Amino acid sequence: MKIESLLIHGGIDGDKRTGAVSVPIYQTSTYKQDAIGKNRGYEYSRTGNPTRDAVEKLIADLEEGERGFAFSSGLAAISSALMLFHSGDKIILSSNVYGGTFRVIDKVFKNFNLNYELVDTSNLKKVKESITKDVKAIFIETPTNPLMTITDIRKISQIAEENKILTIVDNTFMSPYLQKPLKLGADIVLHSATKYLGGHSDLIAGLLVVNDRELGEKIHFIQNSAGAILSPFDSWLLIRGIKTLSVRMDRHLENAEYVAEFLRKNDAVDKIYYPGFKDHPGYEIHRSQASGGGAVISFVLKEGLDVNKFLKNLKLITLGESLGGVESLISHPATMTHATVPYEIRQEIGIVDNLVRLSVGLENKDDIVEDLKNALKFAK
Ligand SMILES: Cc1ncc(COP(=O)(O)O)c(C=O)c1O
């Protein structure tokens, strides 16, 4: 099946018993056992639940992996992946990953002596130089949030394999519709399913997919032990969102290209970060591993312009955290998503105070452009 069909019929398709075309919501904590040691495949819903199974099998199908896991948030998925490591281990981390990923590693896992090094993973030489014997994984986001830096998934996976360490890829910005990291050699792919997979800004969820049975067993052990599972209702909601991913994503891409072209021509805009542009420094690598530029555009307003006035005067586009929903959302990384990243690091990596990140939604593209055009006038 092609991905458009898999989105609708992958995983567990409907309900065999009744013929219901929608997977039932098994809103139960526990299951009747027929005798001691004899159950019908389920014992307790932290360990396994049929609705969660359905979304876990669906994401495994979509990412072409062996096994999928659903968590209560993207960060719960990330934290669960990090629990694979031990005190004294070290992780190489893409230098401008999502602020929350940095925070959980820097402020939580570091307390357990899990170390990290921030590396510009688009620079393979630097990645190779950073590998010491305590490094156990390379954690990348491509494109990164919010500066859209591209990392070569194939090459990073090769380096990791040569060193017998894991490659973990946050695929939130692309979704499996545009990019499939496991097919490119990664070991673990993860999603904040809150974003494009859910797609409607009504759900917080996270997913992990692996292509190795043994690694799958380890993650299931962590999922069951640490317990940050996705609820049956939210699993169902996520399945419902995933069904329309292909049509949503096609429109997201069309709108984003149109908006990016408008921004490029606007004299209030100093710099645009958008991997759909041919002159984006990672364009060739991105096109070799993904089938579209995505629909998140970050841009910097010219010096002297008032970013707050610009944001306050938007009428259609919503100022808020998150991305990937049907509505266009705009955020100010320095004070919102990346506020936890120290000021000096933010300046160093380019998260300057005049930077905004726009998640282009599914509204009419001329309405989006009109809203931006009008609000930019107020920034001057
Ligand atoms: C790239 C990326 N990864 C992970 C996360 C964390 O996901 P969640 O908010 O679902 O916990 C986010 C959230 O914005 C994100 O943008």
| Stretch 10-34: mean pLDDT | 96
In one-letter notation, the amino acid at residue 156 is I
Tens of pLDDT, residue by residue over 154-183, are: 999 999 999 999 999 999 999 999 999 999
Quick one: 175 and 109 in the same domain? yes
Q: What is the pLDDT of residue 145?
A: 87
Ligand 1 center to 304 CA (angstroms):
31
The count of domains in the chain is 2
Q: Which residues are catalytic?
A: 46, 98, 170, 195
Quick one: 126 and 258 in the same domain? no
| Stretch 184-195: mean pLDDT | 98
Quick one: 190 and 100 in the same domain? yes
197 lies in which domain range? Answer: 3-242
Count of C-beta atoms within a 10 Å radius of residue 361: 25
Quick one: 178 and 112 in the same domain? yes
Pocket of ligand 1 from Cβ distances under 6 Å: 73-75, 98, 100-101, 141, 145, 170, 172, 192, 194, 204, 206
Q: What is the token pair recorded at 10?
A: 């992958």
Quick one: 31 and 119 in the same domain? yes
- Which among 104, 127, 128, 100 has a CA at the least distance from the CA of 114? 104
Ligand 1 center to 75 CA (angstroms):
6
> Cα(203)–Cα(216) distance, rounded to whole angstroms?
25
Atom of ligand 1 nearest to the CA of 97: 1
Quick one: 169 and 277 in the same domain? no
Quick one: 197 and 129 in the same domain? yes
pLDDT over 90 (residue 368): yes
Quick one: 83 and 230 in the same domain? yes
The CATH number given to whatever domain includes residue 366 is 3.90.1150.10
pLDDT over 90 (residue 348): no
- What is the overall mean pLDDT for the chain? 96
Q: What is the pLDDT of residue 162?
A: 98
* Domain end call among 242, 259, 294: 242
* Domain end call among 196, 220, 242: 242
Quick one: 255 and 226 in the same domain? no
pLDDT over 90 (residue 349): no
